[in-house]
Amino acid sequence: MSHDCRGIATVSGKTTFIAGALPNETVTFKYLKQNAQFAEGYAVGIIAPSKDRIAAKCAHFGLCGGCRFQQLSQQTQIDYKTAALKDQLHHFGQVSPSRWLMPIKHQPYGYRTKARLGVKHVPKKGGVLVGFRELDGRFIADIECCHILDARVGLKITALKTLINQLDAKATIPQIEVAMDEQHTALIFRHLAPLSEQDRAMLSQFAQAHSIWLYLQPKGPQSITRLWPNEIETKLSYTIQPYDVSICFEPQHFTQVNHVINQKMINQAISLLELNEDDRVLDLFCGMGNFTLPMATKAKHVTGIEVCEAMVSLGTENAKQNQLHNVSFYQADLFNENAKAPFMHETYDKILLDPARSGAKEILAVIDRFKARRIVYVSCNPATLARDAGLLVNQKNYTLTACGVIDMFPHTAHVESMAVFDLCR
C-alpha cells in the first residue's frame, strides 16, 4: 500500500499505483496516467482477491470516486492508515511517538454532513446526473444514492436528479453544496444563469416538501442567499458536549464533515492538553472556534488565530452567544511573517494546532517564542505532520509524546491524526 492507500505494483518494470487494489491480490486495471518514473491507474476487475477484501455495501462502488475502501472492513482501513502514519513519521520526520493513542472511530456509514455534489446534464445518459466524480475524475458518476452521506441527502440523490431535470436551468447548475447540523439540512444550488420564476417556485416547493433550507448562489460565495424558508434568520449550529457550547455557522462555512467524530476529537484534544483554570492557550488555525470555545470553558484564557476575517467575526459572535468572555479572536496569516502581531509577543502554557493540508511549518519556525509546555497538533495530512514533527523534535526541543489516527473519513484514503508534543525540561 502507498501512503495514500493505493496498491503498488510493478508493471513492465515500472512502479504503478493502482487505486482500489489491495496488497497480495491480482487485478486488472485501467491506466490514468503514465510518465517515465511511474504510472497510475484504478482497478476494474479482481482476479485473485486479498484475504482482507469484503463485499462493498454500495452498488456504485468502483465507479464513484466518493470513497475508495468499502472493500475493506473499518478496522482494516484504520490499520492501513495507522501503518501509513507510522511510516511517514519515520521517513519524513525521523521520529516515533512514545505511545500510540487508540484510534478515534464511529460507525462508518451515513456520517458525512458536509459535501459538494457535482451536477451535469447529460442527455445521452437520460438527463441530469448528481453525485461525486468517477474514479478517473473526468465525469460525474451516475448514482441513485450514497451510503456515505447522511441519509437526509444520501437517499435523496434520485429526487434531486428528478427535480433538476424539470428545471429550465438544468444545463446551467454545476454543483450543490451540502451542509447539515443535528436538525437541519441546507443545500446551496450554484447556477450560472438567472433562474426563471417557475424554476424558483419548483425549488421552493421541493425544499418545503423535503424540509430543506435551500440557498441560491449565482456568483461567488458573497452572492449566496436563502430561497426557502425566507422568513427566518436562524443559522445552522452544532453543540459540543460536555462543554455546553453551541457553534453557529452558515452552510458555506468550513466545518468538519463528521459530527460524531468531531465531538470525540475535541474531547480527546482537550483531555490531552490537560487544561486547568490557570492555563493560557493559543489556538492556531482556529476557524470559527471549533476547539477554541470548548477549551475556554476549561482554561483561564484562549487566543484564537485565523486567516479568514469572516471566521474571526463568526468566532467572536459565537463566543458572545455562549457568554464566554475569556476568548480573543485575531486575524493573521500564519503562513507569513507576523512579528508585529500582538499575539506573537505573549507566552502560552498550551497550544492547539489544526492547520490545513500544507501543515504549520512557517509558524513552527518561531513556536519556541511562546514557551508552551504542551502542543496538541490535529492534522489532515500525515506527510506534513511528519515533517512538522521532525522540526519540533529535532530543532525546537520537543518530544513526540503520543500520536494516533482519527477515522474522520471512513472508506476514503484521507488520514486525519492527532499528535502530542511536550517541551523537554
Active site residues: 380
- Which distant-in-sequence residues (6+ apart) come within 8 Å of 113 by Cβ? 150, 178, 179, 180, 181, 255, 257, 258, 259
What is the Cα–Cα distance from 292 to 278, expressed in whole angstroms?
Answer: 16
Number of residues assigned to the chain: 425
Categorise residue 285: left if φ over 0, alpha if ψ from -120 to 50, beta otherwise: left
Query: Which of 30, 74, 76 is closest to 51 using CA atoms?
Result: 76
Query: Could you tell me if 403 and 86 are in contact, meaning their C-beta atoms sit under 8 angstroms apart?
Result: no
Query: Which of 236, 109, 250 is closest to 182 using CA atoms?
Result: 236
Query: Could you tell me if 22 and 7 are in contact, meaning their C-beta atoms sit under 8 angstroms apart?
Result: yes
156: amino acid identity, one letter: K
Query: Which of 221, 285, 210 is closest to 250 using CA atoms?
Result: 221
What is the Cα–Cα distance from 81 to 83, expressed in whole angstroms?
Answer: 5
Find how far residue 244's CA is from the centre of its chain: 23
* Count of H-run helices and E-run strands, the chain: 9, 20
Residue 389: its H or E element: helix 382-395
21: amino acid identity, one letter: A
- Pairing label, strands 398-406, 99-100: parallel
Calculate ∠ Cα 72-73-79, nearest 5°: 90
What is the Cα–Cα distance from 327 to 295, expressed in whole angstroms?
Answer: 9
352: amino acid identity, one letter: L
Query: Could you tell me if 190 and 174 are in contact, meaning their C-beta atoms sit under 8 angstroms apart?
Result: yes
Residue 413 DSSP SS3: coil
